[in-house]
């Protein structure tokens, strides 16, 4: 019978306990546990966080797990409310200048930007306004070149991307780049869509999912990578949906969660730069919540629709690798 060395060409290493520097695919014998083990891929779970003060959907959002924010949205009528999250609880802070929903956000709790959206109490209802946040209040600055709602927004307050969206009756592929002062039209998405979600920096981001017509039959699984200049289609998410949340610090370590496939979804998928893997579900299936986080190991999904609006916040925690014991029977 062939042994491991005969198959792989080397012996299984014996160590006491688990290795400090884990590499996916490694196999070793743990002399402390008297067990054969291997190092698998990331594994994570969702846990309850603090409820938002004003439940809503279609919010702009940005930040990290312990310092995030949501702005605008639709709690029944478009709102100007802004809330910040410290990893435990939400605090209401100064309002936006323009009430709006389906807006996008980028940046941090000390320096953020929000743009576009729907503001039906003023005309036109599809907006191009941009506001910047300095940690205390919002200031109106330069407009987008093309007003829209429900696009993908990502980056930081001085270097952000706005891609796709809708300006009825047109579904947009156009992309604009923000330099902290003004917006510049750049290369279009390959697939025009809205209710997609963006994540990452302005030079290395992803735009995932969306819908081409605002309905579940029009939902797509398309994922595109932005390299700072142009979009390239990459591996699709496993389940086509729109209105998802997302987190990621680059195109090689992202997370997509929630959304709708025609009914609210709890699905979570992790991205390693090559493939998407379905993992632990959200406790509350919902769409169009506020999402932010560092990468596929640390993220938040707050409020959203089930389709009824909820105040729920969930926090994602994951390790880069998982140690598993080999069992034989």
Q: Same structural domain for residues 72 and 22? A: no
Q: Same structural domain for residues 132 and 66? A: yes
Instruction: Say what the pLDDT of residue 3 is.
Output: 53
Q: Rounded to whole angstroms, how far apart are CA atoms 246 and 207? A: 9
Q: Same structural domain for residues 120 and 135? A: yes
Share of the chain above pLDDT 70, in %: 93
Instruction: Say what the pLDDT of residue 22 is.
Output: 67
Residue 326 lies in a domain: no
Q: In the predicted model, what is the mean pLDDT of the chain?
A: 92
Range of the domain at 189: 45-318
Q: Within 13 Å, how many C-alpha atoms sit on residue 275's CB side?
A: 5
Overall average pLDDT of the 255-278 stretch = 96
The model's pTM is 0.86
Q: Same structural domain for residues 137 and 248? A: yes
Q: Same structural domain for residues 160 and 21? A: no
- State the distance between the two ends of the chain, measured CA to CA, in whole angstroms: 17
Q: Same structural domain for residues 20 and 144? A: no
Among candidate residues 225, 264, 224, the one with its CA nearest the CA of residue 241: 264
Instruction: Say what the pLDDT of residue 7 is.
Output: 46
More confident residue, 31 or 239: 239
Domain count, the chain: 2
Q: Same structural domain for residues 101 and 31? A: no
Under the banding of pLDDT at 50, 70 and 90, the label for residue 300 is very high
pLDDT tens-digit map of 37-89: 777 666 689 999 999 999 999 999 999 999 999 999 998 889 999 999 999 99
């Amino acid at each position: 019978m062939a042994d491991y060395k005969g198959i792989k060409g080397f012996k299984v290493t014996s160590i006491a306990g688990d290795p400090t520097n884990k590499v996916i695919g490694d196999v070793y014998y743990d002399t402390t546990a008297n067990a054969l083990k291997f190092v698998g891929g990331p594994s994570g779970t969702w846990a309850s966080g603090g409820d938002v003060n004003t439940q809503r959907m279609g919010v702009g959002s940005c930040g990290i797990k312990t310092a995030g924010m949501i702005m605008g949205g639709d709690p029944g009528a478009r709102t100007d409310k802004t809330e910040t999250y410290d990893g435990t609880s939400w605090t209401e802070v100064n309002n936006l200048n323009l009430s709006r929903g389906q807006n996008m956000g980028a940046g941090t709790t000390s320096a953020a930007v929000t743009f576009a959206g729907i503001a039906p109490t003023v005309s036109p209802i599809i907006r191009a306004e941009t506001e910047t946040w300095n940690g205390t209040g919002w200031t109106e600055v330069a407009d987008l070149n093309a007003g829209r709602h429900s696009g993908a927004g990502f980056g930081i307050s001085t270097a952000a991307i706005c891609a796709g969206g809708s300006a009825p009756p047109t579904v947009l592929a156009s992309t604009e780049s923000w330099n902290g002062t003004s917006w510049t039209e750049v290369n279009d998405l390959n697939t025009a869509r809205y209710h997609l979600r963006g994540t990452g920096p302005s030079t290395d981001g992803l735009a995932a999912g969306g819908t081409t017509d605002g309905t579940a039959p029009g939902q797509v699984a398309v994922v595109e990578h932005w390299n700072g200049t142009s979009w390239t289609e990459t591996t699709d998410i496993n389940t086509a949906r729109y209105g998802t949340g997302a987190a990621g610090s680059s195109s090689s370590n992202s997370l997509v969660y929630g959304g709708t496939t025609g009914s609210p979804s709890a699905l979570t998928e992790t991205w390693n730069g090559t493939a998407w893997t379905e993992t632990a579900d959200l406790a509350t299936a919902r769409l169009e919540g506020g999402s932010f986080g560092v990468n596929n190991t640390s993220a938040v999904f707050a409020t959203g629709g089930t389709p009824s609006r909820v105040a729920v916040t969930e926090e994602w925690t994951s390790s880069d690798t998982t140690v598993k014991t080999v069992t034989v029977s």
